[in-house]
Structure 1
Amino acid sequence: MTACLGWALAACGGSGGGAPLTAAPSTVKYTVDTVASGLENPWGLAFLPDGRMLVTERAGRLRIVTGDGAISAAVTGLPANIAVGGQGGLLDVALDPNFATNRRVYLSYAEAGTGSESGTNGTSVYRAQLSPSGAALTGGQVIFQQRPKVASSLHFGGRLVFANDGTLFITMGERGSRSDDAQDTTNLLGKVARVQTDGSVPADNPLVGTSGAATEIWSWGHRNVQGAAIHPTTGVLWTNEHGPQGGDELNIDRAGRNYGWPVITYGCTYGVCDPIGEGTTKAGMEQPVSWWPKPSTAPSGLMFYTGAGFAPWQGSVFMGGLAGQVLWRLSLSGDTVSGRETLLGDRGERYRTVVQGPDGWIYLLTDDSDGKVLRLRAP
């Protein structure tokens, strides 16, 4: 392992929802360990009860990584028809809330269409049981499919997070379109879905009983949601999503709410930065808790820190930055962002996923052909 000593750096950049442009740098010292390397564009990470990590590689492989950096052979039994290309491939991984007794694992991925849907793809979720040895998935079945599948290699979303009631949230992008798809509740493009662990629709989903609606929908008007986490105190879903050029957002993601894309946004068109839609606000559409101007930070991964190892950071929101090549820490006052700062900006890494480990330290995945598992811990 290699380690380096880091300090938090003040973040320069725009914000919304009342958050200041900069935050005073914290005085927290930390060490960065490289736990493992040699992973091909790792995307999702979930800790097993024994402390080992399940890590997905976007190229279509699932690995088990130990605390001392050993990487297993690829786990067998993954879903068929993983569409690898562009932003697509094998995405997130999550453990069933009752994993200790049922050993169920959930994977999100870009699923290639077959037959009449050949040439298209969409975000799907696969459920299977992890064998006792960890070498294989068995009894796999697809429990959720984005509708419709489209011909695009962009904006799959793909984050999986379980609510406190055991239902599963699934984030989905609008697949790279600036049409009204994200506003159309008859489809699953640009939506956050909520389903039971078998893929069935909870009776209290917001559009149940609405004629023609896709009843899996929890919220809509999203562009590309790649971070999701449950607030540890309120139990409410928070998400982050990619804007176009600027306009990256952090949102409190509530049932039946419209988050505006592409009607309202703080971003603009690529290159010339022409306005998009109708401005930044509109009645009936939600405002972000915080937002980022151009150049985009490209948020991915989201975590509320509750560990004891970094006491001054308890209650903070952490999220990765891909294009920004930083780890963001946002301090909260209730549901308001009271400050933002960046960490790890001197490493030149794209941070795909951020997870709190069972040891209370912070674990990151770097998005690279030689991707790493990093750990932030006290010196």
Structure 2
Amino acid sequence: MTARSWVPVPKGSDFPLQNLPYGAFSADGGSPRIGVAIGDHMLDLAAALGDPVFARPRLNEFLSRGRRHWTAVRARITDLLTDPAQKAAARPSLIPRDAVRLHLPVDVADYVDFYASEHHASNVGRILRPGGDPLNPNWRHLPVGYHGRSGTVVVSGTEIVRPRGQRRPADGQPPAFGPTTRLDIEAEVGFVVGTPSALGERVTPAAFADHVFGVVLVNDWSARDIQAWEYVPLGPFLGKSFATSVSPWVVPLDALAAARFQPPPREPEPLPYLRDNGAWGLDLRLEVSWNGFVVSRPPFAEMYWTPAQQLAHLTVGGAALRTGDLFASGTVSGPRRDECGSFLELTWNGTEPLRLPDGTERTFLEDGDTITIRATAPGDSGVRIGFGEVTGTIRPAR
């Protein structure tokens, strides 16, 4: 029989007992500390478990303790929330979620962004290189990625200031400078590293769960016109570095066992260091809303490269993992237009404007637009668990 929590959980909640995502919160003007979400409440872990690691403002110290400790703490929390004998002692540690302020859950050490969706990469290739091969020759041989700017990773709800930069000139003209006119999103899934590795040490796909604690939602905001002018020959820079938003909840890998599946064989077969036999395909369903209207439902299950393969490639050259590292999947897109995770694809580079239900048309983001990304996944006992949301509103350039 499936255990039930004595904490009431509304039907359809993102945060049933099978989830228990971690977040950093503050209440009544106090300092940030760590809790887990259960239904419409937050369990204050410092108070409930008596462990001062949860009185810290970020998860990093807890994450550094490793998988055995993460699993043991999850079991303690589950026991606390299901054992009627502990109800009286634990109830004072419950705080309504609508009474707390959420913060960035981790101090982000390094940030790496990948390009792991074949559908997204192919769409971009068709848009930017019409008539040529949509995929570059290396794409099916390695997870393409770039190192981003960790200092501009911000928590959901942070307003996004339209960036300025150089834009591609007309033929024979100097480049223009000013606010981007092609501000875009990228709906992604991010992975938070807990256990570090040594410099020069390779992390295999089989060791993925030994190092990665959990999952967040990511919106990697992108200034497409700035990106198009600057990215040759070294790749993304100012077009990507102004802001990357993440959800305030870190869903533990332990909550995603029912979402895992074995991806189909890759063609050509990856090199030995990228062979992932650990079934780290994940059946996550994303949803993108533009000013409150759902415009896309990207399926993470369609990703070509798994997060375990991404981590293996990230470290194969000897790069060390640090507690708090974040690596993101790259834009999640499916085979249909309404499954695209960027507006570059959804409006086909602005040539096919999207009409929203309120009658407005959009190609790229305008000041005042609000974007929200949500996701769900199958959880234990047949329930669905959620990731909360990552949202941001565009403000004018400064």
TM-score, normalisation: structure 1: 0.31
More helix by share: 2
Identify the structure with bigger relative contact order (alpha carbons < 8 Å, sequence gap 6+).
2
- TM-score, normalised via structure 2 length: 0.30
More strand by percentage: 1
Larger Rg: 2
